[in-house]
Every structure is written in structure tokens, then in C-alpha cells.
Amino acid sequence: MTLLTALARVEAAAVGRAQRIRTVRHVHLSDRPLVLIPLQLAGEACAPLAAMVGDDPDKPRLLTVYEPRDRGKRFEFVADLAEVILAHLDGYIPANPAPGDAENGGSGGGASAGQVDPFPDAPQLIVPNPNAARYLRLLGRSARFRRVDGEYPVRPTVPLLGRWLTHYAERAEVPGSALMLPMTTALAEHWATGQSDLEDANLGALLGWIEPPPGQTGQQAARAAEDPLRCPPAGPATDPTFDNEVLQGRMQAIRDAATSGDAAAAHRAQAAMDAAVRDQLMPTWGLMWRGYALLAALPEAAHVAEHWSWDTRSFTDQVEWQRAGGAPQARRDNAVSAARRLASLERTAQRVAIHRAYDDPLVMAEYRLTGDAFAGTVIEADPTRQDTSGKKAKLRPWITVETSDEVLVEPDGPGLRSPARPAQEAAVIAVTAAAGRTRVLLELEKGMGRSLTPSPGSVPAVGEEVTYTTLKDEFQPSPGFPSREQTPWTHGGPPREYVPADDDAWESS
């Protein structure tokens, strides 16, 4: 936890209400997200019990597994869920690739990723918490290797949904991705509460802090949310008391009806179980849309569109891969794909962190505290200064910034950037202390037009508030890795060709 977040938490505890720690929203929100709340049966890694799903707050769709211990029933449930989710996904996939695209990228057999233009938008999935995302990853894993023929066949939509859930769960690990958004993570990123991170993972308690009911403090609202009768857990685990006192009885009734063959009784028992599960899910359904509204009310940060374009790209590539008949995602990464993925994750994490600091003064404030940035006022400016040491005179304006921040940059150190003028480079010429404040003399380069007079507004004027930072989002060539067939002996040599097997569907993680 950073210093400013710690301070915000103390403040939140003192005033009884969560504090904003971001000025803008750093995650993409779709106009029509698909909200999905999965519930699992206690005691098994991946037995689905129910799910509430939909893109309209007024029309939640409830899917229940009446006998979660029956594997056949589980995959019937997955097929039902696939119907809802795949229909939503289809709405974002253009019916047919444009004729030109097929020519360009068709022959590569799925390796054409990156050649087809990305779709205009991608479907967003919102789940209550990171555990729900992890659970969906497991469900995807158990579904994507299932066969539509042979022993225990499933409907063709089951492996397809498995691939999509896997894709969404893998994207959820990527910094800045919002394809599958856990609500508690998104909220906690923007508000600091007076409780621990662990407690923040309780959606009801978190929203209690952010938006306590009239007359209540955040503490009171959060405590009320801990009562599983008033605020059932947001899943995927269910309340044990509910399991013992309600669920067990309803499931027994369903089994009894099945044994006796009484169709009317079976129907009644199923309706009773639906009602019980709906009672567990409806409060969370309401909270999810409240959280959505809270986030939607924040203005979107400047770089969010770019981050979302990475998600759209990944969605497009996955569609293209499936159209080209590509295999389901392998159970494990091989040496090369693991190293590639790590390099890309690290690069993305770095870029997203820099983007967020550029977009949001409250994030930049963290870097000002660690000495990676300083903010101050321009007190002197020589916008037409020229460097005449070379053959040709070059425009190199000097500005002096006075700041009360602690300045750790030094002359001849790394160059600086300003979020207001990201294309411009600033070199530190001198750092002097002056009556408890620090003056930094900077030499500017680039982003001022081609002539020897800077274009208007390109050099900060005297009196302007500016921020300079060592954070830079610069182009870095992606590192080269050997091909899979060239995996060296140090890493076990080339792996065997991956062929999906039935064993891959095992539900252990």
C-alpha cells in the first residue's frame, strides 16, 4: 500500500466514508456489459451451482443446477450458460469478414493474428470479485477440452464457451485489461475504505463504505453487509448456513421427487430451489449495478481507450483463431510461450502504470513522494534560447521551475517528461535550493515545431503549473525469443506437439 492510500484509508476511517484516491476512472466500462455472478457448490473445486447473468439490470437470468454432483447436469448448465454468453458475444462479431480480410490473413491458419482489423468493440464481462474470475477460469478449463462425440458427449457450445471463459480469465491477468472486470477490484482501485484489503473483497461491505445509506457511517454499513441473511455472499462460495439449512433440504426434495417419478413434485421442488438460489443472488445483482453506476459516473481517463483497444484486439484475434480452426488454449505454457507472455505482461504493466500517472494527478502524487516526479510553477522562461555550440543553431529553450516537492533528479541524470507535453524532452541543467524550495533549470527539446521560434503554447510560460517526471512511455523493441521448435537444451529441449487430451479437462488447478 502506498503512503497516499494509507493516508486515505485513515481519513476514510475517521470520517466514516470511503475516500476517492483517483480523479478519473482508469478502467473501461462498456455501455452494455454482461454481468455474471457464478455460485459454486461447496466442497468441490469446480461444481457449478447457479449463475445469474444478463446485460439488463431489470432482467436477470437465473440458471440453476438442480443436481450439481451429477456431471451430466453440470455440463447441461454450462450449455445453458453458453447460450446466454455466446449470444452476447455474437453481438460484437461482424457477421462475415470483409472480402479483403480473408485474402490478407486467411491462409495463415490462425497465425494471422494481428493482420485483420480489430472489431469496433468487444463484449465486457463484469464479475463480482477476483475469486469469481478464478472460478470461471477453472470452469473454462474443464469445459474447453470436452468432446462433442464419443463417451459423455456435450453440446458443441460447451467447449466453445470453455475457450471463451479461458480467454477472458487469461486477459484478466493482464494489467489495464477490462475484458473481464472484477467489481471489487475496480472499485477498490478508485476508493480507499477504512477497512483492510481482505474486507474490501466483500462487495457489500465495500459499497457500504463508498455509499453508506443515509444516516449511517461506512463502518455501520460494512458491518450490516457482513450479515449473510441481509447481504448474502457475492460468491462463488455460498454461505454455509444457507447450504445446511436451505440448500440441502431443497436438493433432497428434488432427489426424492426424481426417485418417486412424480413430475409435479419435481417441478415444485425445482421451483423451490430456484427461489432459494434467487434470494441468494438478487442482492448481489443489485450491488453489481450500483457499483457499475458509481464507476460510470467517474470521467474516463485519457488512456483508457488505448487500453481497451488492446482488449478489442485480443478479442478479435481469438475470434479469428477460432474461425481458422485453431486448437483450444493449451493446459500449460511451454518454455517459449511462458517467457513471451511474461515479457509482454511486464511491458504492459510498466506502460499502464506510466499512463495512469500521466492521466491522474493523484497517481502522479505517489511518484512525487518517491522523487520520480515534481510539480511546481515556472518562474523563468527563455523560450527562444538557442544552442549554438554545433554547426547549426538549435532551439533549446530554458525554463526554471520552482517546487516545494523533494527533488531527487540531478543534472546529467535521465531526461524528464511532462504529462502536459508528453512529446517534449527536458534535460536537467541545474538544481538549486532556495529558501526551503527547490529550483530546477530545464532545457527543452522537441515538440516545438520546426523553426527556431517555438510554436505557441509549446514552451511552458512563466506562472504555469507544470509537472515533470522521469516516467517515460517510450518505444521498446519486443525481445526476441527462439521458436518453440528451437527450445534450447537448458530448458528441456523442444516440447512435443500439443494435442488436447481428455485428461486436460481435469478440474484441479
Closest CA relative to residue 327, chosen from 494, 157, 502, 144: 144
**Least separation, in Å, of the C-beta of 467 and other proteins?**
19
Q: How far is the CB of 336 from other proteins (least distance, A)?
A: 7
Binding status of residue 313 toward other proteins by CB under 8 A: no
Q: Which of 371, 413, 422, 456 binds other proteins (CB under 8 A)?
A: 371
Q: Which residue among 50, 180, 335, 401 contacts other proteins (CB under 8 A)?
A: 335
Q: Which is nearer to other proteins, 196 or 244 (CB)?
A: 196
Per rule CB under 8 A, is residue 482 in the interface with other proteins? Answer: yes
Give me the least distance between CB of 145 and other proteins, in Å please: 18
CB 57 within 8 A of CB 293: no
Residue 119 vs 506, nearer CB to other proteins = 506
Q: Which is nearer to other proteins, 100 or 482 (CB)?
A: 482
Among 71-79, 181-189, 312-320, 487-495, the segment contacting other proteins (CB under 8 A): 487-495
Nearer to other proteins, 49 or 179 (CB): 179
User: What distance in Å separates the CA atoms of residue 428 and residue 416, rounded to the nearest whole number?
Assistant: 8
Q: What distance in Å separates the CA atoms of residue 475 and residue 38, rounded to the nearest whole number? A: 40
Write 421-430 long-range contacts (CB < 8 A, 24+). Answer: 421/447, 421/458, 421/460, 422/358, 422/473, 423/447, 424/448, 424/458, 426/468, 429/398
Q: Name the minimum Å distance from CB 342 to other proteins.
A: 5
Sign of CA dihedral 217, 222, 228, 232: positive
Residue 48 — φ and ψ, nearest 5°?
Answer: -70, 140
Should residue 196 be labelled a site residue for other proteins when binding is judged by CB under 8 A?
no
SS3 readout for 338-395:
HHHHHHHHHHHHHHHHHHHHHHCHHHHHHHHHCCCEEEEEEEEEECCCEECCCCCCEE
Contact (Cβ atoms closer than 8 angstroms) between residue 429 and residue 476: no
* Stretch near other proteins under the rule CB under 8 A, chosen from 63-71, 221-229, 311-319, 338-346: 338-346
Asked if 339 interacts with other proteins (CB under 8 A), we say: yes
Least distance CB 130 / other proteins (angstroms): 12
Stretch near other proteins under the rule CB under 8 A, chosen from 176-184, 210-218, 385-393, 491-499:
491-499
Segment contacting other proteins by CB under 8 A, of 155-163, 385-393, 414-422, 475-483: 475-483
What gap in Å lies between CA 280 and CA 13, rounded to an integer? Answer: 29
> In the bound complex, what is the minimum distance in angstroms from residue 446's beta carbon to other proteins?
18
Is there binding between residue 413 and other proteins (CB under 8 A)? no
- Member of 86, 343, 427, 429 binding other proteins (CB under 8 A): 343
Least distance in angstroms from the C-beta of 330 to other proteins = 12
Q: Where are the alpha helices (DSSP H) in 16-119?
A: 71-90, 99-105
113 binds other proteins (CB under 8 A): no
Question: Residue 336 interacts with other proteins (CB under 8 A)?
Answer: yes
Of 119, 481, 498, 506, the one binding other proteins by CB under 8 A: 481
Based on its alpha-carbon atoms, the radius of gyration of the chain, rounded to whole angstroms, reads 28
| Least spacing, CB of residue 193 vs other proteins, in Å | 19
Cell output for 169: 480469465
Which range in 7-15, 292-300, 303-311, 341-349 contacts other proteins by CB under 8 A? 341-349
Q: Which residue is listed with cell 430456484?
A: 274
H or E element that contains 96: none
| DSSP output for 143-189 | HHT--SSSSS---THHHHHHHHHHHHHHHTTSTT--SEEEHHHHHHH
Dist CA 35 CA 97 (whole Å): 28
Task: Examine residue 429 and tell whether it contacts other proteins (CB under 8 A).
Answer: no
Interface with other proteins (CB under 8 A), residue from 486, 501, 502, 507? 486
Q: Assess 364 for contact with other proteins (CB under 8 A).
A: no
Residue 398, CB-side half-sphere exposure with 13 Å CA sphere: 12
Q: Report helix, strand or coil for 63.
A: strand
Query: Shortest distance, CB of residue 487 to other proteins, whole angstroms?
Result: 8
Q: Which of 216, 217, 220, 350 binds other proteins (CB under 8 A)?
A: 350
As measured in angstroms, the least distance from the Cβ of 146 to other proteins is 23
What would the grid cell of residue 417 be? 517528461
Choose one: 155-163, 260-268, 420-428, 473-481; the region binding other proteins (CB under 8 A).
473-481
Q: Which residues contact 298 (CB under 8 A, 6 or more apart)?
A: 22, 24, 25, 190
Query: 299 or 480, CB closer to other proteins?
Result: 480
Q: Are 28 and 308 in contact (CB under 8 A)?
A: yes
Give how many residues touch other proteins by CB under 8 A. 32
Binding characters for other proteins, 151-190, by CB under 8 A (x = yes): ----------------------x-x---------------
> What's the helix, strand, coil split of the chain in %, to 5?
45, 15, 40
Which listed residue (349, 393, 452, 462) binds other proteins by CB under 8 A?
A: 349
If binding is defined by CB under 8 A, does position 345 make contact with other proteins?
yes
Contacts with other proteins, residue ranges (CB under 8 A)? 3, 173, 175, 332-336, 338-339, 341-343, 345-346, 349-350, 370-371, 408, 479-482, 486-493
